[in-house]
């Protein structure tokens, strides 16, 4: 024990000397971000578990100022979160919530999963100690969400603490099985004395499994031997082990562990856990038939619990105010979202109307052009029909004016035939005209006063002169040529 106290003293002394040496150089040099992080995480933790409140507050205030001057947001936010933790630990909940709110405001818009995890972890713990368990679970869920996204393995160890706290919250909500699941998750990430002793406490109280409880207590005490000073880990382990001994009716030894736990909690300023211990000690003295000591500790319990209760009530009001502000902010956000939604819908409706108007106008214009073309085509067809009837009549009469009239009606077709073969005679062109107008070989022979065989012969000659393939009908050839 003497060696333990000496080692404890030396460890604390080294941390304080390191801190003081840093303090003297504080404004005389520029600090790297890595160095600031180590001060606000490692040195902060050493001072925190040794209960050095003043040095702890000074450390965070000074490095908060340094971070501000360097515009190093992470350092500034870490300082605020640490200060929130310090004040919550010593029962100054109103101040704790103020620092956490400042941290949250500064963290807005910053993508740092570790900071988000740490902030919501502290928010959850602060709400838990003032009795707002549902609120605590809500913040703890946020902490787990961000913690799972941390890539750095060392930083990710914070999830062990987050899971352990969730186990506490669930136990208070009577979700006993779920509580044990999260304790096991915490243990997998980082085995600590307090997690082992909490699991032991679970097996003792809820499973009534003394062997399992003893196994986890053995692991907890084995880990405590590796720690050279007393801290909250040791205090809670002693408390849970005292409960274990109480259940075994070893009241004298249980009392010894309870009192040791209180001493450590006082040194480390963990005041919010002391009333419960006072009450437990009073209960133990009752079992030992020591009425005066029982009364003494009940009075201590009542006095400290009332004092913390007043602070707790103020903090609950502040937390409720924060909830109200968050709801008002959510309402404003919802209102803004509704306005934005309406603007988008109106804009889309307006765009649709414009697009429909432009589209409809184009369609109307196209339809009008098509109708005009159709009318023009119809008139042309009528004209062609009238012309064709007259040409057919002239052909049937074998009128000498037939070809001249045909050439006037179909100048393009005649021109294309001459392009293919400029040597075509008028008689041959007239023959083509009769075929194009739909006269059959028999009709051509009849109206041209020739034999049917002669018509076939002329067709064959014409096919050669116009280079018409043998598999193509002359009539379709001429119609196709006319439609070009």
State the residue for tokens 């965070």.
Answer: 60
In sequence order, what are the residues at sequence separation of 6 or more whose Cβ sits closer than 8 angstroms to the Cβ of residue 168?
A: 128, 179, 198
pLDDT of residue 382: 45
Tokens (6 digits) for 321: 């105010």
Nearest alpha carbon to residue 232 among 183, 270, 201: 270
pLDDT of residue 27: 46
Contacts of residues 79-84 at CB distance under 8 Å and 24 or more positions apart, as own/partner, are 79/40, 80/106, 81/115, 81/118, 81/119, 81/122, 82/40, 82/44, 82/48, 82/56, 83/57, 84/122, 84/126
* pTM greater than 0.85 (yes/no): no
Cβ neighbours of 215 (radius 10 Å): 15
SS3 of residue 108 by DSSP: coil
Per-residue pLDDT of the chain (484 residues; tens, 9 = 90+): 444 455 555 555 555 555 555 554 444 356 899 999 999 999 998 888 777 888 999 999 999 999 999 999 999 999 999 999 999 888 888 999 999 999 999 999 999 999 999 999 999 999 998 888 889 999 999 999 999 999 999 999 999 999 999 998 898 888 899 999 999 999 999 999 999 999 999 999 998 999 999 999 999 999 999 876 567 889 999 999 999 999 999 999 999 999 999 999 988 877 878 999 999 999 999 999 999 999 999 999 999 888 777 665 454 445 444 444 544 454 455 566 566 666 677 677 667 777 766 767 777 666 666 555 454 444 444 444 557 788 888 888 888 888 888 888 898 988 989 998 998 898 888 889 888 988 888 888 888 888 888 889 988 998 998 899 988 888 888 888 887 6
Q: Which domains does the chain have, with CATH numbers?
A: 397-483 (3.40.50.2300)
Return the half-sphere exposure (C-beta side, CA atoms, 13 A cut-off) of residue 419: 7
Cα separation of 118 and 172, whole Å?
22
pLDDT of residue 400: 85
Cα separation of 198 and 180, whole Å?
9
Does residue 463 contact residue 473 with C-beta atoms inside 8 Å? Answer: no
Does residue 426 contact residue 403 with C-beta atoms inside 8 Å? Answer: yes
């Amino acid at each position: 024990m003497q060696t333990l106290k000496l080692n404890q003293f030396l460890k604390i002394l080294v941390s304080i000397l390191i801190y003081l040496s840093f303090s003297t150089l504080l404004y005389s040099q520029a600090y790297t971000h890595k160095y600031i992080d180590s001060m606000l995480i490692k040195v902060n933790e050493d001072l925190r578990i040794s209960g050095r409140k003043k040095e702890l507050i000074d450390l965070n205030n000074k490095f908060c100022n340094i971070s501000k001057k360097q515009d190093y947001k992470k350092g500034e936010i870490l300082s605020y979160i640490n200060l929130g933790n310090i004040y919550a630990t010593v029962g100054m909940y109103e101040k704790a919530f103020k620092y956490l709110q400042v941290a949250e405001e500064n963290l807005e818009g910053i993508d740092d999963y570790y900071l988000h995890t740490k902030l919501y972890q502290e928010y959850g713990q602060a709400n838990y100690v003032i009795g707002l368990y549902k609120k605590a679970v809500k913040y703890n869920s946020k902490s787990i969400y961000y913690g799972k996204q941390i890539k750095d393995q060392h930083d990710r160890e914070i999830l062990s603490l987050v899971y352990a706290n969730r186990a506490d919250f669930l136990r208070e909500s009577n979700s006993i099985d779920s509580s044990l699941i999260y304790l096991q998750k915490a243990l997998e990430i980082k085995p600590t004395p307090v997690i082992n002793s909490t699991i032991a406490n679970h097996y003792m109280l809820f499973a009534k499994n003394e062997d399992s409880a003893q196994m986890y207590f053995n692991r907890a005490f084995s880990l405590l031997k590796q720690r050279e000073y007393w801290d909250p880990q040791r205090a809670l382990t002693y408390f849970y082990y005292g409960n274990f001994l109480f259940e075994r009716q070893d009241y004298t030894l249980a009392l010894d562990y309870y009192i040791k736990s209180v001493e450590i909690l006082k040194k480390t300023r963990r005041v919010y856990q002391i009333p419960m211990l006072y009450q437990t000690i009073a209960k133990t003295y009752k079992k030992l038939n020591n009425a005066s000591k029982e009364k003494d500790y009940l009075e201590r319990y009542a006095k400290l619990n009332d004092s913390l209760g007043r602070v707790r009530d103020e903090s609950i009001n502040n937390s409720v105010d924060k909830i109200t502000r968050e709801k008002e902010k959510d309402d404003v956000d919802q209102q803004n979202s509704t306005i934005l939604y309406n603007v988008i819908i109106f804009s889309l409706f307006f765009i649709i109307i414009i697009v429909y108007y432009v589209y409809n106008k184009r369609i109307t214009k196209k339809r009008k052009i098509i109708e005009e073309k159709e009318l023009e085509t119809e008139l042309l067809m009528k004209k062609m029909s009238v012309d064709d009837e007259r040409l057919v009549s002239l052909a049937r009469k074998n009128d000498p004016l037939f070809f001249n009239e045909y050439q006037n009606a179909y100048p393009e077709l005649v021109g294309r035939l001459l392009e293919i073969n400029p040597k075509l005679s008028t008689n041959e062109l007239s023959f083509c005209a009769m075929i194009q107008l739909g006269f059959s070989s028999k009709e051509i022979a009849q109206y041209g006063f020739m034999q049917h065989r002669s018509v076939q012969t002329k067709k064959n000659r014409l096919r050669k002169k116009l280079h018409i393939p043998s598999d193509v009908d002359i009539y379709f050839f001429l119609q196709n040529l006319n439609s070009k």
